[in-house]
Structure 1
């Protein structure tokens, strides 16, 4: 019995010694990490877009995710254009249009930097900036990452994709025009042969300018400098939304350097969809089709109302075409 007991003690001691020598694994690093939103659909030219983070498959924290390479989808070629630097604005604080009403105040919250179109965060997220506007339109990419923690390091090839889509440049809102005879009676424009149109064109990738023209059915512009276009009481106009630079007037248009997008940045309470109201006095315009119960020769003022929002930087021409109206 003593021999058996002695042998058992030796076995237990040997087992303890073996366990003491064996290296115990530290932490855990997952095998099946993924991005739930891949492929990422990114609108080009936005000031700031953040993607979802990498799903770590229960890996022990802290985890560091490193971007290894971005390639054109379906190739082994590194996407050099993805890393190219461009001058873009970086916003240190958000702009508050109720407080920040001057260029000096806006510039205090932003600065220009030479940057690639993205920053890759330790969480595995992409932070895209306005530099994505310089990438080829509708380009698609795939990328690899390296993930490390106290347990070790693993490489994940082709773990995600990035697809760039065309940006929404602008959004038109309601457009209408009412006719008031010179006795002040409103007349619905539905009796006319056509409704007014709003035509928005991006005429340059450069600048931050909105050019508003109000024209008759033949494209003849009304002159805002000579009183052919006037405000409509206390209702909002183009100027109401020009927070950072004044509106300037030419013989044919109203022009604003809007500085930042979106423009307008904020709706005015009680006037949804960024509405702007104007009046063209009757001495500057006449109708081609007269509303019911108003014989030819009755004079009317023309009262266009419209709204729009510009989403991307550039120079835009916004034309309000008054069908059924002729410039006198």
Structure 2
């Protein structure tokens, strides 16, 4: 009986001790992660990652960016935390109706953005177009995560690989075909539409060299030369007839087109240029031109047995009858800036 009283006397002490213990709330893992690690980003291109994998950590989460460091050196990269000027579209851009810069500017406004933002609730990494200001390379990020359990910091939680963008591409190689002056009929040769190397925009009859020369404004400076380097005046490049209308040229896609003594300048609002709307239209983004006989001294034959670079091609003059020249080209620009397009008609001599 005495033993029973001792047990009953101790019960209040045990209950009091249990009541004083702090009950921990929730769980915050030491091992949250991203499914894509490293995460590859193209410089200047918007991208949003998937959310962080919380490893059963108790929601809600509050994820913040602590640091971005160069993977090789471990040094802080301040460029990720700077704000840069960029345009934001307030209404959708329509390349068929937004045909002047006044109309375009009414739909967009200039603002400032950071290259990298993070969604606090999900941990999603948001890369904006101003990553164009980040040097290509590999970077690593540190995060801080808070939830009802507490706060922890996570170093090197994800690597980011910034790659340089493709500036432009040749959708197909250009060519120049002789055509009768009396009818819409080509004078075909065995070599006239054969490609030597599409990756450098070269066929047996034409070679389009593209070079980016400035980061702004967005424009193409288009120069056309004959086989000796003589420049055709811009007015020599006319629209090519197609029934009662004309085929597309770069002017079709540009916001503004004008000329100087040696070149045609096409200004555009945004990339890719031409806009993707045109990809699904008749003839896609092919640009067609006609150079009339008044500008042409002769066209050439070509020795097709010795095409492939670094071998040169042998050309011989052909002037049996007056001809016009039909030119076709197709390119796509992916990064903003000023580009020089130099098209050499390798089988053509200018008058």
The correspondence of residues 1-328 of structure 1 with structure 2, limited to 5 A, is: 21-46=20-45, 48-122=46-120, 123-136=122-135, 138-174=136-172, 175-184=174-183, 185-192=185-192, 194-225=204-235, 228-233=236-241, 234-242=246-254, 245-265=255-275, 266-267=277-278, 269-272=281-284, 274-285=285-296, 286-289=298-301, 296-328=319-351
SS of residue matched to 1:106: helix
Q: How many residues align?
A: 317
Q: Aligned in 2, Cα 1:152/1:183: closer, same or farther, shift over 3 Å?
A: same
Asked whether the equivalents of residues 189 and 195 of structure 1 are also in contact (C-alpha less than 8 Å), the reply is: no
Per-residue displacement from partner, 1:20-69 (whole Å, max 9, x unpaired)? 554443222222211121222222223x2223322111222221111111
TM-score (norm 1): 0.85
Per-residue displacement from partner, 1:251-297 (whole Å, max 9, x unpaired)? 3221122121111113161112x111100112211202289xx9742
Give the Cα–Cα distance (whole angstroms) in 1 for the partners of residues 171 and 52 of structure 2: 38
Give the Cα–Cα distance (whole angstroms) in 2 for the partners of residues 295 and 155 of structure 1: 75
SS of residue matched to 2:27: coil
Aligned-residue RMSD, C-alpha: 2.9
SS of residue matched to 2:34: coil
Structure 2: gaps spanning 5 or more residues: 193-202, 304-316
CA shift for structure 1 position 125 = 2.6
TM-score (norm 2): 0.80
Q: Aligned in 2, Cα 1:239/1:14: closer, same or farther, shift over 3 Å?
A: same
Q: Aligned in 2, Cα 1:61/1:105: closer, same or farther, shift over 3 Å?
A: farther
CA shift for structure 1 position 99 = 4.3
